[in-house]
């Protein structure tokens, strides 16, 4: 592996890891605020305990989300200095705004929410919960605006002296269709994630007869059902948008080597993922479905990879402009199939809840508990689809990934950092799972152990 491959491996793995925790934070912060609102209205101790219970899970998770976020902030300059220099005028601004407008909000009010439990006026305490959720959602907006610019550069002019993009319209960054639909999609995916986690924990607890968790199970289903449904629809539309601006990404995701009209959707196939092996040996496909998904018409045309490659070579010069088709194809399907599965799970759960059978439906509860790892797989697949599909570009049409790496960082240094991050991240995720499981299994209604020492100052949420 050369320096570029190693740098890509590091950025991809640290980003995927960071994104294990981010959607949980965004989703659970929202749900925790919902639970807090409920407690604020009922004033019952039972609702307070439920709020604190899920607040604890949120906090355990936020710790890793925050620290891995630091790595993201610095990594652009570390491994991608040529990229940072090239795009800084455009890309840097949303990142700076993310800190000023969102991170400060989220971090400050989280501290206030945890430690102001019996100190703040009740209304201010509730507001803090909602500001944490707002801060988390807002931070996603800025980073998605930046990422969307990489997928479809807008709002810039080119400096004639340096050849670099120069920001000309901030508004264009936020009206970029890739941003608008991509951001909504990420938020919906985060709500699905948070709801899935809350549902999983509630299901586990309900199977042990702890009826308090019926409330949280219902809250999670109320969020999960519309979120998962909308995520499918928005995701599909995002695919259409991206087919306009990044046709390689979408055609590769379909394994579509030749232009087709109409186009069948491949549900599953063996082979057909390389230019030396364009025909799959086995394929399960649905006629016309790809035309519908990609163009919204029954007989829509989808341009094939071979034709797109010829177009790009004519436009950009010699080179391989086709992303990894295997990665594209499978990440799209893993994401979409799991997304559909969560929608079906939500539908099933909602139906059971409506018939008041939720606490006793053991099969559903068991499946809901075990679904959590799948939501992480789903999110990862989504990011692989969009980032790997942008290759070989780091900024579509403007800069190739290979040209963005730091020329002064040696292979040895990257190996060292890869090993270091891998070791620490592995350690953290093991502990995170251990802690999450331990705290997810507690009975909030059982009398707590006598607090030791000066526990008045220990936050209410760390027992």
Asked if 263 and 304 count as a contact pair (C-beta separation under 8 A), the reply is: no
Near another protein in 46-65, by CB under 8 A: 59-60, 62-64
Near another protein in 279-318, by CB under 8 A: none
Give the angle subtended at the CA of 357 by the CAs of 355 and 363, to the nearest 5°: 130
Region near another protein per CB under 8 A, out of 17-25, 195-203, 236-244, 409-417: 409-417
Region near another protein per CB under 8 A, out of 115-123, 246-254, 311-319, 333-341: 115-123
Region near another protein per CB under 8 A, out of 16-24, 248-256, 329-337, 404-412: 404-412
Near another protein in 64-83, by CB under 8 A: 64, 66-71, 73-74, 76-79, 81-82
Give the angle subtended at the CA of 310 by the CAs of 306 and 312, to the nearest 5°: 115
Question: In angstroms, what is the minimal distance from the CB of 24 to another protein?
Answer: 15
By CB under 8 A, tell whether 16 contacts another protein.
no
By CB under 8 A, tell whether 110 contacts another protein.
yes
Asked if 202 and 217 count as a contact pair (C-beta separation under 8 A), the reply is: yes
By CB under 8 A, tell whether 144 contacts another protein.
no
Name the one residue in this structure whose structure tokens are 């080119």. 158
By CB under 8 A, tell whether 93 contacts another protein.
yes
- Which is closer to another protein, CB of 118 or CB of 315? 118
Among 18, 322, 406, 444, the residue binding another protein under the rule CB under 8 A is 406
- Strand, helix or coil at 336? helix
Among 283, 374, 428, 429, the residue binding another protein under the rule CB under 8 A is 428
Question: In angstroms, what is the minimal distance from the CB of 450 to another protein?
Answer: 12
By CB under 8 A, tell whether 462 contacts another protein.
yes
How many chain residues are in contact with another protein, going by CB under 8 A?
Answer: 78
By CB under 8 A, tell whether 416 contacts another protein.
yes
Binding string, residues 364-403; x marks residues near another protein by CB under 8 A: ----------------------------------------
Nearest Cα to Cα of residue 266 among 248, 279, 275, 247? 279
By CB under 8 A, tell whether 43 contacts another protein.
no
Please state, in angstroms and rounded to a whole number, the distance separating the CA atoms of residues 193 and 199: 10
Tokens of 284: 């399960």
Q: What count of other Cβ atoms lies within 10 Å of the Cβ of residue 448?
A: 11
- Which is closer to another protein, CB of 170 or CB of 214? 170
Asked if 31 and 220 count as a contact pair (C-beta separation under 8 A), the reply is: yes
By CB under 8 A, tell whether 440 contacts another protein.
no
Question: In angstroms, what is the minimal distance from the CB of 170 to another protein?
Answer: 5
Please state, in angstroms and rounded to a whole number, the distance separating the CA atoms of residues 101 and 342: 32
Name the one residue in this structure whose structure tokens are 């059971």. 352
Phi-psi region of 209 (alpha: psi -120 to 50; beta: other; left: phi over 0): left
Cβ contacts of 10 within 8 Å, gap of 6 or more: 75, 79, 414, 417, 418, 421
Near another protein in 117-136, by CB under 8 A: 118-121
Tokens of 354: 């409506």
Partners of residue 302 on adjacent β-strands = 260
Residue 285: phi and psi, rounded to 5, are -135, 160
Asked if 341 and 406 count as a contact pair (C-beta separation under 8 A), the reply is: no
Among 116, 280, 326, 392, the residue binding another protein under the rule CB under 8 A is 116
- Which is closer to another protein, CB of 70 or CB of 267? 70
Residue 286: phi and psi, rounded to 5, are -115, 115
Question: In angstroms, what is the minimal distance from the CB of 120 to another protein?
Answer: 7
Question: In angstroms, what is the minimal distance from the CB of 19 to another protein?
Answer: 17
């Amino acid at each position: 592996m050369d320096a570029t491959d190693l740098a890509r491996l590091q950025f991809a793995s640290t980003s995927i890891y960071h994104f294990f925790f981010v959607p949980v934070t965004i989703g659970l912060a929202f749900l925790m605020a919902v639970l807090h609102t409920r407690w604020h209205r009922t004033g019952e101790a039972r609702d307070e305990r439920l709020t604190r219970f899920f607040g604890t899970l949120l906090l355990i998770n936020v710790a890793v989300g925050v620290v891995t976020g630091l790595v993201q902030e610095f990594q652009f300059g570390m491994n991608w200095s040529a990229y940072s220099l090239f795009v800084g005028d455009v890309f840097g601004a949303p990142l700076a705004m993310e800190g000023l407008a969102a991170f400060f909000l989220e971090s400050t009010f989280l501290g206030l929410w945890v430690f102001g439990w019996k100190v703040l006026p009740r209304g201010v305490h509730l507001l803090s919960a909602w500001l944490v959720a707002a801060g988390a959602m807002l931070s996603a907006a800025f980073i998605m605006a930046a990422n969307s610019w990489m997928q479809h550069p807008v709002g810039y002019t080119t400096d004639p002296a340096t050849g670099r993009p120069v920001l000309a319209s901030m508004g264009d960054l936020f009206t970029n269709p890739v941003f608008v639909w991509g951001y909504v999609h990420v938020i919906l995916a985060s709500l699905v994630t948070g709801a899935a986690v809350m549902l999983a924990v509630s299901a586990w607890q309900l199977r042990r007869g702890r009826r308090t968790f019926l409330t949280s199970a219902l809250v999670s289903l109320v969020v999960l059902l519309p979120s998962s449904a909308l995520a499918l629809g928005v995701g599909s539309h995002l695919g259409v948008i991206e087919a306009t601006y990044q046709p390689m990404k979408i055609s590769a995701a379909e394994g579509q080597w030749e232009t087709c009209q109409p186009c069948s959707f491949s549900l599953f196939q063996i082979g057909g993922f390389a230019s030396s092996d364009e025909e799959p040996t086995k394929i399960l496909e649905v006629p016309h479905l790809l035309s519908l998904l990609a163009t919204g018409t029954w007989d829509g045309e989808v341009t094939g990879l071979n034709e797109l490659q010829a177009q790009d070579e004519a436009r950009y010069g010699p080179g391989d402009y086709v992303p990894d088709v295997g990665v594209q194809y499978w990440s799209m399907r893993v994401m979409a199939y799991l997304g559909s599965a969560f929608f079906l799970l939500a539908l099933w759960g909602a139906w059971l809840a409506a018939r008041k059978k939720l606490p006793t439906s053991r099969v559903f509860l068991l499946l809901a508990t075990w679904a959590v790892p799948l939501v992480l797989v789903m999110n990862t697949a989504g990011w692989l689809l969009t980032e790997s599909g942008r290759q070989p570009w780091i900024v579509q049409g403007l800069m190739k990934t290979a040209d963005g790496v730091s020329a002064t960082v040696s292979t040895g240094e990257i190996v060292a950092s890869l090993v270091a991050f891998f070791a620490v991240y592995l350690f953290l995720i093991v502990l995170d799972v251990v802690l999450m499981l331990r705290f997810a299994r507690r009975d909030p209604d059982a009398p707590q152990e006598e607090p030791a020492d000066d526990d008045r100052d220990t936050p209410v949420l760390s027992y």
